[in-house]
Amino acid sequence: MTDTILDPAFLQPVRLSPDGRVLQLLDQRALPAREIWLELREVEAVAQAIESLAVRGAPAIGCAAALGLAAGSWGFPEATGPWREAAAQAIERLARTRPTAVNLFHALAHMRAALALAVGDAAALRAALRQAALVYVAGELQACVRMGEFGGPLLPEGTILTHCNTGALATAGWGTALGVIRRAHQLGRDIRVLADETRPVLQGARLTAWELQRDGIPVEVIADNMAGALMSRGQIQAAIVGADRITRRGDVANKIGTYTVAVLCRHHNIPFFVAAPWSTIDLEMESGAEIPIEARDLDEVHLHGGVRMTPAGVGARNPAFDVTPAELVTAIITERGVFRPDELAAAAAAAK
């Protein structure tokens, strides 16, 4: 860990209690108005926290699942056979929470593999899960820091547009796209951030603005429909976003609205960067058309601040993610380096 670049006020929003029995989560639904820490002991509660967006962001979902499984395993039966059966069911339950972010399945595969190798009584299996979860989270954090090292110097000076929230809240800490922005700021680059508000759940307005303000990085919020006009007036120099899944050919699934930003960037000849840990790349999937896109509750669209904005009886649509084709992506920043989308498959083969 190159902890020299981590901020002293480092935010770790998904963590295990010191005794390993409790998953502690900073409840993202309450931000920025209130900072509420949830204490979760059971896998079902962890699954519901992921589904309800108390914890969200692809890497953070994976971390919550791994740590939540470790914490929840204290409630499994003591005999080894039933214990393993309970663990398998818990992994199945967590896998059903959100379909798009591949990091969740990556984290659960990591935990399943650790369990398969573990031997001994329930206490030994619990210890193996805890160790595996902590290793997973440490790896994710290190990946964010490395992405910042690679990506920070790439960002041009000026105004950087970002979409959704990709910061400490969405990861094991530090952030993917926001980690790159943080690093650029640390390096003294003269940047300011425009955060798309990111309807319908407002991750940009609520969470990205909260994180950047906390860090003292200049930030302003814009409604999602403003970016094009600002680009046409030369007021945006680059865009950087995270990803929930990147396919072998470099298609990028990310928060709904990302595709629109990428199209606008191409039209205005502005670089469009994606920052994501290698665990976000799904090498088994070739095209973005194969990525399962989560459809969320329509009330997220109908309501704003709890108040209904649409006439009763009118329908809505709420796909939570879109897919940006590889052709619109300038570069993908990972902890292994910076790649053009068409270089990913070769980079994966070279790493084997």
Q: What residue ranges bind ligand MRU (CB under 6 A)? A: 56-59, 101, 164, 166, 170-171, 176, 203, 242-244, 254-255, 320
Q: How far is the CB of 199 from ligand MRU (least distance, A)?
A: 12
The residues facing 26 across adjacent strands are 37
CB 275 within 8 A of CB 176: yes
Residues in the chain: 352
CB 230 within 8 A of CB 263: no
* 121 is an active site residue: no
Closer to ligand MRU by CB, 23 or 128: give it.
23
Question: Which among 244, 251, 282, 322 is annotated as catalytic?
Answer: 244
- Cα separation, 12 vs 158, in Å, equals 29
Closer to ligand MRU by CB, 73 or 166: give it.
166
Q: How far is the CB of 178 from ligand MRU (least distance, A)?
A: 8
Helix (H) or strand (E) holding 282: strand 281-282
List phi, psi (to 5°) of 254: -155, 180
Closer to ligand MRU by CB, 203 or 330: give it.
203
Closer to ligand MRU by CB, 128 or 239: give it.
239
CB 267 within 8 A of CB 173: no
Give every strand in the sheet of 245-247, ordered side by side: 281-282, 245-247, 252-255, 321-324
Q: How far is the CB of 166 from ligand MRU (least distance, A)?
A: 4
Q: How far is the CB of 170 from ligand MRU (least distance, A)?
A: 4
Q: How far is the CB of 19 from ligand MRU (least distance, A)?
A: 29
Give every strand in the sheet of 219-222, ordered side by side: 219-222, 191-196, 158-162, 238-241, 272-275, 331-334, 337-339
List phi, psi (to 5°) of 8: -60, -30
Q: 231: closest CA among 264, 260, 262?
A: 264
Closer to ligand MRU by CB, 73 or 254: give it.
254
- Cα separation, 298 vs 23, in Å, equals 29
Which residues are annotated as catalytic?
244
